[in-house]
C-alpha cells in the first residue's frame, strides 16, 4: 500500500502541488472575468478521493496555494488554514455519484442567473453554448450547505456537465479543471448573449442538428486547452 501523509511519494506531492496551482489559476481567472465574486469555489478530486477546494474567506483575486483546503467525500475538513466554504457539500454530493467528475466549479454569475430569475430556459444561441445544453435547473434558491441539498443537486445534474440553480448560480463539472472552467465560461457567455439578444428581439436558437454538429466539432480537449490558455495569458 502506498504510504500516506508526510511519507507520500515525492511525485504524488508534486502532482498535488500542481493541482493546487491549477485551482488557484482557475479561481483567479474566473474572478478577473467577473464570473466569480467573493463567494465562489472550485475543487479538484485527487486520485485517493481527497478534495482540494479554496477556503471560504479567501480573497479570490489574490489567491495562493496557501488558501487551498483539503476535505473528504463526507465534507469533513482534513487540512487548511481557514475553513472550507459552507457550500462544500455541493462538491461532495456530486463527486459521490459521478466517478467521471474530477473537478467542479460553483459560483453566482449574473447572466445565467438572470435567466433563472424570470423562468427563461437556457437556450443555445452561439456555438459553444451547445455543449452544456440541455441545461438542468435546480428548482430551489437554497444554499447547498447540507447533505440533503447536495444530493438533490446531484440528482438534478444527473450525467450532465452543468446545471443552473434558480435565483442562485451555476455549477460546471469536468473530467479535469480545464474542462470545468471552459464549460462554465461557455455557459455564462451564452447566457449573456441570450439575455442581450432578448432586449432587441427573439434570438435565433440552434436546432438539434446544429447543436449536434457543434458538439462534434467543439467538444475537444485541444480547444478547451486553447480557451484556458487564452484566459491564463491575461491573468494579472
Ligand atoms: Zn452558491
Close Cβ partners of 172 (under 8 Å, ≥ 6 residues apart): 104, 105, 132, 161, 162, 180, 181, 183, 184, 187
Position 83 pLDDT exceeds 60: yes
CB 28 within 8 A of CB 235: yes
Average pLDDT of 13-36?
Answer: 96
CA of 88 to the centre of ligand 1 (A): 10
CA of 186 to the centre of ligand 1 (A): 19
Position 1 pLDDT exceeds 50: no
Percent of all residues in the chain with a pLDDT value above 90, rounded to a whole number: 94
Name residues with Cβ closer than 5 Å to ligand 1, which is an ion. Answer: 169
Q: Which helix (H) or strand (E) holds 78?
A: strand 77-79
pLDDT for res 173: 98
CA of 200 to the centre of ligand 1 (A): 31
Using alpha carbons, select from 109, 111, 65, 104 the residue that is nearest to residue 88. Answer: 104
Using alpha carbons, select from 91, 72, 190, 69 the residue that is nearest to residue 134. Answer: 190
CA of 57 to the centre of ligand 1 (A): 14
CB 100 within 8 A of CB 175: yes
For the segment 178-224, what is each residue's pLDDT rounded down to a tens digit?
999 999 999 999 999 999 999 999 999 999 999 999 999 999 999 99
For the segment 106-155, what is each residue's pLDDT rounded down to a tens digit?
999 999 999 999 999 999 999 999 999 999 999 999 999 999 999 999 99
For the segment 39-68, what is each residue's pLDDT rounded down to a tens digit?
999 999 999 999 999 999 999 999 999 999
CA of 184 to the centre of ligand 1 (A): 14
**b/e map 93-115, b = 16+ CB within 10 Å:** bbbbebeebbbbbbbbbebbbbb
CA of 191 to the centre of ligand 1 (A): 18
Q: How confident is the model at residue 10 (pLDDT cuts 50, 70, 90)?
A: low
CB 170 within 8 A of CB 188: yes
pLDDT for res 236: 85
CA of 146 to the centre of ligand 1 (A): 12
Position 31 pLDDT exceeds 70: yes
Amino acid at each position: 500500500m502506498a504510504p500516506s501523509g508526510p511519507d507520500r511519494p515525492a511525485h504524488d506531492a508534486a502532482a498535488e502541488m500542481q493541482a493546487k496551482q491549477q485551482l488557484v489559476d482557475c479561481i483567479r481567472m474566473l474572478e478577473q472575468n467577473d464570473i466569480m465574486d467573493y463567494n465562489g469555489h472550485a475543487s479538484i478530486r485527487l486520485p485517493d478521493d481527497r478534495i482540494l477546494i479554496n477556503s471560504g474567506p479567501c480573497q479570490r483575486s489574490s489567491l495562493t496555494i496557501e488558501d487551498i483546503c483539503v476535505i473528504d467525500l463526507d465534507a469533513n475538513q482534513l487540512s487548511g488554514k481557514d475553513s472550507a466554504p459552507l457550500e462544500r457539500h455541493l462538491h461532495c454530493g456530486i463527486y459521490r455519484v459521478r466517478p467521471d467528475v474530477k473537478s467542479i466549479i460553483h459560483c453566482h454569475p449574473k447572466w445565467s442567473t438572470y435567466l433563472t430569475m424570470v423562468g427563461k430556459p437556457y437556450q443555445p444561441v452561439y456555438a459553444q453554448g451547445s455543449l452544456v445544453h440541455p441545461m438542468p435547473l435546480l428548482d430551489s434558491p437554497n444554499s447547498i450547505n447540507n447533505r440533503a441539498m447536495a444530493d438533490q443537486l446531484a440528482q438534478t445534474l444527473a450525467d450532465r456537465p452543468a446545471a443552473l440553480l434558480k435565483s442562485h448560480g451555476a455549477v460546471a463539472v469536468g473530467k479535469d479543471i480545464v474542462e470545468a472552467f471552459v464549460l462554465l465560461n461557455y455557459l455564462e457567455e451564452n447566457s449573456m448573449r441570450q439575455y442581450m439578444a432578448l432586449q432587441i428581439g427573439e434570438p435565433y436558437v440552434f436546432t438539434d442538428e446544429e447543436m449536434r454538429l457543434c458538439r462534434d466539432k467543439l467538444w475537444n480537449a485541444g480547444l478547451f486547452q486553447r480557451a484556458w490558455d487564452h484566459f491564463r495569458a491575461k491573468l494579472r
